[in-house]
Structure 1
């Protein structure tokens, strides 16, 4: 293994000696301060602070945006003249920065975009135990959104990528017609996705406000002569 050619043994965006490729170095997010609604972070020693310094307090998180496993599987079923075909895709052991959710709870977008109802849980003097900081928090800009792990989320998913359900018209119904076969079918693409990820699409490689993978429905008729 070739060491990283840097006197510190690490390059942000690449990783560190002995670490995983593309490992993130971030300030650890610790939640909302119930006393005042500000954001809490952990310093390099694990102590809570409202004013972290990235250069001093960021740590290697042993996470990147590469899945440990990915693949697909499916099955075919036939019953009498009906048939069913499926394909599932999955990724396991992956985290992503949830741009969509971070935008959906951005106080600066109030009145500009549709936002998450989670903002209704924002800290107030009467609602001190919450995961959403005060809309008047004084340290929202202390650490940039991409410099902490606040929005680094598990994005494992299982997706029903393709489903086809169809019917083969019986030969008796088309005998002496000059037609060899008739198949009627419906297709569904990206029908369901099971995930804990809050953003639009756990498989999206793009960044902020990216469109989710489209759900497509179609029907077909196949006639063989």
Structure 2
């Protein structure tokens, strides 16, 4: 029986916004996907804690225990190999839908009457942030990567100067 809705998201979207006021400019780029079912295999094979493997917090907090037999999301944790803990299940299918702020930037262009005194045609100073936030319920590190282990999206802060003579 097939689980999920295929390997592609139902829809992909994005939006960009640009505003200018006097000598200031602001831009924002958002992007995301909706209704993207992913079999999260990193999670599926992490119920055995052998050879120094680490477990994500969601698994340790919600695994079956004798004290919590009915409200658990995941099977019992074991410290040795057990094939029953590695059976494919729809418990590992997650919606990897997300909304991410890919870039946000604020800039200031120094007025021409000031820059021309030092023989500069254009001078813009700006600050920028990449991957400011991601809104998702996906338990992995990055919903854009999906089922692969991957790494979290790197947040990058930049300061810059655009200078034209």
TM-score by length of 2: 0.82
Is this contact kept in 2: 1:99–1:199, CA < 8 A?
Answer: no
For 1:83 and 1:197, the matched residues in 2 are separated by 34
Q: More relative contact order in 1 or in 2 (CA 8 Å, sep 6+)?
A: 2
Q: Match for residue 10 of structure 1?
A: none
Query: Residue 161 of structure 2 aligns with which residue?
Result: 221
Match of 2:92 among 129, 151, 160: 151
Pair 187,80 (structure 1): closer, same or farther in 2 beyond 3 Å: same
Equivalent of 1:184 in 125, 132, 141: 125
Write the deviation string for residues 69-126 of structure 1: whole angstroms up to 9, x where unpaired: 11321110112221111111111121112234445xx232367144233414433333
From 35, 40, 51, give the equivalent of 1:98.
40
Structure 2 unaligned segments of length 5 or more: list them.
none
- State how 1:17-28 maps to structure 2 within 5 Å: none
Based on CA coordinates, which of the two structures has the bigger radius of gyration?
1
Name structure 1 gaps, 5 residues minimum.
1-58
Q: Alpha carbons of 1:60 and 1:100: their partners in 2 closer, same or farther (altered >3 Å)?
A: closer
Query: How far did 1:173 drift?
Result: 2.6
Partners of 1:100 and 1:200 within 8 A in 2:
no
Q: SS at 1:60's partner residue?
A: coil
Paired with 2:23 and 2:122, the residues of 1 have a C-alpha distance of: 12
TM-score (norm 1): 0.62
In the comparison of the two structures, how many residue pairs are matched? 161
The CA deviation at 1:155 is 0.7
The residue correspondences of 1:45-194 to structure 2 (distance < 5 A) are 59-61=1-3, 63-102=5-44, 106-109=46-49, 112-118=52-58, 119-131=60-72, 132-135=74-77, 141-142=83-84, 144-145=86-87, 147-194=88-135
> Is the Cα–Cα contact under 8 Å of residues 157 and 194 in structure 1 kept in the other structure?
yes
Q: CA 1:152 to 1:206, structure 2 compared with 1: closer, same or farther past 3 Å?
A: closer
Correspondence 1:204 to 2:145: yes
CA RMSD of aligned residues (A): 2.5
Alpha-carbon spacing, 1:90–1:201, altered in 2? closer, same or farther (3 Å):
same
